[in-house]
Structure 1
Amino acid sequence: MIRHRGIGNTGDAMVRYVHFELRAAIGAAAALAVTAVVLCVVRGLPELSGTWLLPFAVVTVVVALWAGVRSSRLKVVGRTRTYEAAVPLADPPADGDTLRRRPFSPMAFVGFLTVALTLSLFWDPVVILVLWWMALDWLSDGLVAARWERRNGVLLWRNDSRDEPWRLAYSPVSPPPPTRTATGAPPA
């Protein structure tokens, strides 16, 4: 984890907000894939009719429309006001906790898998539709945040403390290196 002293208590861990959302989406998608494979082995392949694919298509369209609403400035559901309320960091955290090092949370994956597999095997396989919705929702939230970051030239950070886990902070994106001429001298 990245340790930072900028906001909250001393030593609070800071995690990139986009990475936090994408880790959750990857964990839910991985649990969905494992659950689907186990269901195919135990119950056999489902019919590939419109009745099976239609709910997945409807959830996908609803989440896509909801992402547009979420990227707005609407008071309760829009995320833009939350991002704009982020506090500036005194010194940007080092780039240590990336998706390359930790692409998903193992604990979230195990939790999703346990619940989805148990409910799907003993109750109804439609439960995997909830995992589909959760994975798409976290993915869309990560995309909305990434779009906001790109438009504003900052990186959003999530305060990973028990006191204020919802509190966001931002740091500027480092400027590109200065251009050089063919001789290596800076341009005049």
Structure 2
Amino acid sequence: MFRYVHYEVTCAILAVCAAAVSAGVVFGVQGAPEAPRGVAHAVAFGLLLLVCAAGFGVLSVSRLKWFGEGQDFDRAVPLEETGAVLPTQGEQYRSCVNVYLFVFLVAYALGGGLLWERSLALSPLFLGAVWLARGWRVARWERCHGLLLWSGRARARLPEGDQHLYSSVR
């Protein structure tokens, strides 16, 4: 079981680290991409793509009927036995770091950067923007409702899959 916000922010940090690793390798092997004359246009286009990715992240946790996940937050189940369910702090953060996700992000960014275009080494930044926007939106939901949102499985219920749970801030 893990805090929903912590998982989203951790995934965003993994995406930034994957972009840094893959960009360092790709730019070290092939050199940094040359800046075209219209650098301002290229930077503006990249920022526009990041904003669009962040907008998609916010929409994915919105309350839209077939698209957003926000309605599931309102149907979250309360945690009654928090002492028996929640892991210790070290265990909680260790389970949030997804090593397989990091390896996948580095592998596809390195493959794209070395085989096709050097600037694809920075592509995990777009997923990082999505995850960071999702984390921001869920943190806002938590603040508005005065609850902490968890994702996982309560031992007493044993549902078929993970579910959203909430607990008091205290």
Q: 1:42 aligns with which of 17, 21, 29?
A: 29
The amino acid across from 1:117 in the alignment is L
> Where do 5+ consecutive residues of structure 1 fail to align?
1-13, 175-188
- CA–CA separation in structure 2 for the residues paired with 1:136 and 1:19: 15
Higher Rg: 1
Alpha-carbon distance change, 52 to 44 in structure 1, aligned in 2, over 3 angstroms:
farther
Please say if 1:152 is aligned against 2:142: no
Q: Which residue identity is paired with 1:23?
A: T
Contact conserved, 1:157 with 1:168, CA < 8 A, in 2? yes
Are 2:63 and 1:73 equivalent residues in the alignment?
yes
Alignment length (residue pairs): 159
Residues 130/82 of structure 1: CA separation in 2 closer, same or farther (3 Å cut)? farther
CA contact (8 A) 1:25 1:134 kept: yes
CA 1:71–1:164 in structure 2 vs 1: closer, same or farther (change >3 Å)?
A: closer
Partner of residue 106, structure 2: 113
Question: Which segments of 5 or more consecutive residues in structure 2 lack a partner in the other structure?
Answer: none
* Cα distance, 1:19–1:28 mapped onto 2, change above 3 Å: same
Q: Does the CA contact (< 8 Å) of 1:73 and 1:81 recur in 2?
A: yes
Q: Give 2:50's aligned residue.
A: 60
Does the Cα contact within 8 Å between 1:19 and 1:98 map onto a contact in 2? no
Shift of 1:78: 2.9
Question: Is the counterpart of residue 88 in structure 1 residue 75 in structure 2?
Answer: no
What is the CA–CA distance in structure 1 between the aligned matches of 2:26 and 2:63, rounded to whole Å?
41
More helix by share: 2
What is the CA distance between 1:71 and its match in structure 2?
Answer: 5.3
- For 1:145 and 1:80, locate their aligned partners in 2 and report how far apart those are by CA, in whole Å: 9
Q: Give the secondary structure class of the aligned counterpart of 2:123.
A: helix
* Cα gap change, 1:68 to 1:102, in 2 (>3 Å): closer
Contact in 2 for aligned 1:26/1:103 (Cα 8 Å) = no
How many Å separate the matches in 1 of 2:150 and 2:71?
15
User: Counterpart amino acid of 1:164?
Assistant: G
- TM-score, length of structure 2 as denominator length: 0.79
**Aligned residues: CA RMSD:** 2.6
Identity %: 33
Sort the Cα spacing of 1:45 and 1:124 in 2 relative to 1 into closer, same or farther, 3 A: closer
* 1:88/1:134 CA distance change after superposition, 3 Å: same
Q: Deviations over 1:85-115 (max 9, x none)?
A: 111112222552444x677333321221122
What CA distance in whole angstroms lies between the structure 2 residues aligned with 1:50 and 1:162? Answer: 52
Change (3 A) 1:75 1:103: closer
